[in-house]
Amino acid sequence: MAVTATPTTAAASRPMTKEERKVILASSLGTVFEWYDFYLYGSLAVIIGSQFFSAFDVTTRNVFALLAFAAGFLVRPFGALVFGRLGDLVGRKYTFLVTIVIMGTSTFIVGLLPSYDQIGWIAPVILIVLRMAQGLALGGEYGGAAVYVAEHAPQGRRGFYTSWIQTTATVGLLLSLLVILALRMWMGEAGFQRGEGYWIAGWRIPFLLSIVLLAISVWIRLQMNESPAFQKMKEEGTQSKAPLSEAFGQWKNAKIVIIALLGLVVGQAVVWYTGQFYALFFLQNILKVDLLTANVLIAWSLILGTGGFIFFGALSDKIGRKPIILGGCLIAAITFFPLFKMLTSVVSPKLEHALATAKVQVTSDPAFCGSVFDPVGIRNFTQPCDIARVALARAAIKYEFVAAPAGTAPKVTFNGTEAPILGASPVQPAVPAAGTSPAVPSRPAVNAINANIAGFNAAATKVGYPAANDPTILRVNGFFDAIVNPTALKAIGILLILVLYVTAVYGPIAAALVESFPTRIRYTAMSLPYHIGNGWFGGLLPPTSFAMVAATGDIYYGLWYPVCFALMTFVIGLLFVKETKDRDIFAYQGEK
């Protein structure tokens, strides 16, 4: 493809050219595959924990599996720095060609990696290294794809063109869910987890399939040429010689990075992760919906809502990026609580009734109770009061803490009837560390929590809480059963609203970030705020929100995390973010 002239306003009214469609396909398809690879691990975290952390009990291995998953999020900003700098120095095309090779190869190797039982501790070490490689690659991939498409887009249609990139995260998640569901239904759970009756365990197949996706992506991307904006800059000799120091060491640029992070990306990230990931977590862990039903409901909401990315991206070309992103943050913050309560009402009406009528109390001298906030799941609870509250939260039982006179031992009551706290150490005043140690949770403490979960669940059912297999909890028997089930359709409708919020805040974000920075540092400068916002503020939302639930006893309390950050972004964005939809990114040299 020859280098094109600078896009003009007149080009905004013409149809998309064949070469432009090719640019979008190359960028979007590769990014779909990258997100598919990335989400596979999250969807299969429990199985991966059993394969690579089998030396530990079930709870601890799940914690380690989730921490390994989180490692991929934590390193994403560093990938943004490494590959962003490379993209501004040597070009967009070759940089995001490298990122997809790293991502696809790492994912394929996970499918081949022997388990802990086969090679011991080397297995989890290699797994974590591969997860970090995936995170680093993803940190460079998104910025490259967004910049590459934006620099090919005509003036006045940049939001529409880049919105196709924005569909990739959702499509990648959907693709991973559909592949996993299909394999589970075909092979059965035993065949999927252990390979019984098959030559290979089914959970490995989605990872191995990534090599095919990688080959297709690399072939398509090799056909592409460099972006016209970068090529023009290279010919004129105006490239940055030190994009990192120019982007973050000069206040005029660093200021825009900070404003973009706090006034656009953080709110977008928490709305996105709430609408897709926390919704799935809430269905499975709070409402006790079975795995198949939860994945089917989310999958249908994504299928129905994905077109919203294109709609809001195109709309942002007409009315601006700022009003759509900030409006989405504000509406989401206002409605998250009622929507999740509606979801509870539809999916588990018995739980909704129990939340309103059952009175569960933890009564204790406050000196015997510490903090149970544990977002990374590594604290070792030994105090009876702390064990009881953690067990209640993990069982999704709403409780209130009642302070008692000094010396009163902890007790748990269900509508006034006491349920014993099992397996805890003798009562003693909580130390500053809140009765915990930062080490891996010990087996006695884990066993005590699990024993209390079972005991509290039994007591909860007597006061109206549903058991895990209660027939009143929504259940579907297959993918298409959901669209003929009236109750499932109501749940999909609520989830669809959450997905539409995602599309509103995420559809225009690529265009907004690309337009905020000059060509010479664009890849570097836009990638860092995007991946700090989405990798840290967004990626850590599910465990942090659940830790907030555990610490308070309120199953909806974790929603304050996205609500507060979305409102923060609305206020900061309203005051400091400038509208950029009419900016000529070829001519823009940054703020003076």
Phi-psi region of 369 (alpha: psi -120 to 50; beta: other; left: phi over 0): beta
pLDDT band, very low/low/confident/very high, at 304 (cuts 50, 70, 90): very high
List the one residue out of 144, 128, 340, 265 whose CA is nearest residue 539: 265
Q: Which residue has the higher pLDDT, 205 or 67?
A: 205
pLDDT at 225: 75
Rounded to 5 degrees, what angle do the CA atoms 395, 65, 46 make?
55
* pLDDT, tens digit, 9 for 90 and up, residues 172-221: 888 888 888 889 888 888 898 888 888 888 899 999 988 888 888 888 87
CA dihedral 148, 151, 157, 159 (to 10 degrees): 50
pLDDT at 269: 93
Residue 66 scores a pLDDT above 80 = no
pLDDT at 2: 37
pLDDT at 443: 53
> Are 93 and 523 a contacting pair, CB within 8 Å?
no
pLDDT band, very low/low/confident/very high, at 424 (cuts 50, 70, 90): low
* pLDDT, tens digit, 9 for 90 and up, residues 128-148: 899 888 888 888 877 778 888
Question: What b/e sequence results for 147-185 when a residue is b if at least 16 CB atoms lie within 10 Å of its CB, and e otherwise?
Answer: bbbbbbbbbbbbbbbbbbbbbbbbbbbbbbbbbbbebbe
Considering only 26-35, 80-89, 364-373, which range has the smallest mean pLDDT? 26-35
User: Alpha helix locations (H) across 223-362?
Assistant: 228-236, 243-248, 251-260, 266-273, 279-281, 291-305, 307-319, 321-347, 349-357
List the one residue out of 318, 303, 322 whose CA is nearest residue 160: 318
> Are 176 and 36 a contacting pair, CB within 8 Å?
yes
Residue 257 scores a pLDDT above 70 = yes
Q: Which residue has the higher pLDDT, 393 or 568?
A: 568
Residue 12 scores a pLDDT above 70 = no
pLDDT at 329: 97
Query: Measured in whole angstroms, how far is the alpha carbon of residue 227 from the centre of its chain?
Result: 30
Q: Hey, is 124 helix, strand or coil?
A: helix
pLDDT band, very low/low/confident/very high, at 434 (cuts 50, 70, 90): very low
Tell me what percent of the residues of the chain surpass a pLDDT of 90.
34
pLDDT at 359: 94
Residue 553 scores a pLDDT above 90 = no
d(CA 112, CA 462): 47
Query: Measured in whole angstroms, how far is the alpha carbon of residue 259 from the centre of its chain?
Result: 22
pLDDT band, very low/low/confident/very high, at 319 (cuts 50, 70, 90): very high
362 bridge partner residues: 401, 412
Residue 35 scores a pLDDT above 90 = no
Mean of all residue pLDDT scores within the chain: 84
**49-62 mean pLDDT:** 74
pLDDT at 11: 54
Domains detected in the chain: 18-347+477-576 (1.20.1250.20), 355-462 (3.40.30)
pLDDT at 3: 37
> Are 280 and 297 a contacting pair, CB within 8 Å?
no
Residue 381 scores a pLDDT above 90 = no
**333-340 mean pLDDT:** 97
| Axis-axis angle for helices 307-319, 158-194 (nearest 10) | 160
pLDDT at 479: 83
Q: Which residue has the higher pLDDT, 329 or 284?
A: 329
* pLDDT, tens digit, 9 for 90 and up, residues 162-173: 998 888 878 888
User: Which residue is associated with the tokens 């070490």?
Assistant: 125
pLDDT at 436: 44
Tell me what percent of the residues of the chain surpass a pLDDT of 70.
89
Q: Hey, is 401 helix, strand or coil?
A: strand
pLDDT at 6: 44
Residue 437 scores a pLDDT above 90 = no
* pLDDT, tens digit, 9 for 90 and up, residues 492-539: 999 999 999 999 999 999 999 999 988 888 888 888 898 888 888 887
pLDDT at 422: 82
